[in-house]
Amino acid sequence: MRTERAPDALRAVEIIPRFTKAPAGSALIRCGGTTVLCTVSAVEGVPRFREGRGGWLTAEYAMAPGSTPSRSARESSTGKVKGRTHEIQRLVGRSLRAAIDLERLGEWTLHVDCEVLEADAGTRTASITGGFVALALAVDHLMDRGALASNPLRAAVAGVSCGIVRGQALLDLDYGEDVQATVDANFVRATPGGWIEVQATGEDGAYTRTELDALLDLAERGIDNLHAAQRAALGAAAERVWPKEIADG
């Protein structure tokens, strides 16, 4: 059972903005033993299906070969992208699209790339949380150079994992807890707006409504704290791009 932190406590969170200089926005996020580099590249033009309808945002996700104790080959080198990778890429993409008004983005495509450097559970939710910071910095960059007339961000987005381990609801599982969890869950929320993803799986049978409610309560508190970390990482840029509805709240 967890002893080093309370059941409703996040792992130590560190977000380093502008970790790399080449892309429009970037952030390195560390959540306990999980480390993800998130970058956002801005490209003029949009896919054909978005022509005349505003901008677009798409995401890619990858595990670095040395991110786990047993090296795994890059999926690009094998020519096969795993189903898990497709699932996470779609999750990251739709989560971050909920943060932005694509019509106000104009004819720009934002490519979000999440590279897991160290994996100790919660890689998909860390990618979303760090990805939002990189996205906000990319938007700030485009506004600064005059490519955007106004801030298209309409919500802050973050994600966190939860689970039930030995009968207790826990926030932000590490790998040791994740492998023991009888219920494994991932939550993503847009603030304002509400839940984007509520993904809870019974690993050892069914779970109850009471247990699900307990996990939702943990996730809500955790995401509030992650928003605070996101805003702190943005620094002065938060005054320009942090969604006004939250700032005024």
Q: How far is CA 199 from CA 85, 133, 170, in A?
A: 16, 23, 15
φ, ψ for residue 9, nearest 5 deg:
-100, 140
Q: What angle do CA 124, 130, 135 make, to 5 degrees?
A: 115
- Burial level of 237, CB count in 10 A (0-12/13-18/19+)? buried
Q: Would you state the pLDDT for residue 248?
A: 45
**Domain-embedded: residue 7:** no
Q: Would you state the pLDDT for residue 136?
A: 98
**Domain-embedded: residue 8:** no
CA distance linking residue 94 with residue 71, whole number of Å = 29
| pTM as predicted | 0.94
Q: Would you state the pLDDT for residue 80?
A: 65
**Domain-embedded: residue 201:** yes
- The answer to whether the CB of 208 falls within 8 A of the CB of 186 is no
pLDDT in tens, the chain (249 residues): 677 899 999 999 999 999 999 999 999 999 999 999 999 999 999 999 998 889 999 999 998 886 877 777 676 656 666 788 889 999 999 999 999 999 999 999 999 999 999 999 999 999 999 999 999 999 999 999 999 999 999 999 999 999 999 999 999 999 999 999 999 999 999 999 999 999 999 998 999 999 999 999 999 999 999 999 999 999 999 999 998 766 444
**Domain-embedded: residue 58:** yes
Q: Would you state the pLDDT for residue 246?
A: 63
CA distance linking residue 234 with residue 239, whole number of Å = 9
Q: pLDDT digit string (tens) for 74-96?
A: 766 566 667 888 899 999 999 99
Domain count, the chain: 1
Contacts of 52 (CB under 8 A, 6+ apart): none
**Domain-embedded: residue 2:** no
- Here the CATH number for the domain that contains residue 44 is 3.30.230.70
**Domain-embedded: residue 4:** no
Q: Would you state the pLDDT for residue 76?
A: 64
Q: Would you state the pLDDT for residue 79?
A: 61
**Domain-embedded: residue 43:** yes
Give the structural domain span for 40. Answer: 13-248
Q: Would you state the pLDDT for residue 63?
A: 87
**Domain-embedded: residue 30:** yes
CA distance linking residue 210 with residue 153, whole number of Å = 34
Query: What spatial distance separates the first Cα and last Cα of the chain, rounded to whole Å?
Result: 37
Q: Would you state the pLDDT for residue 249?
A: 44
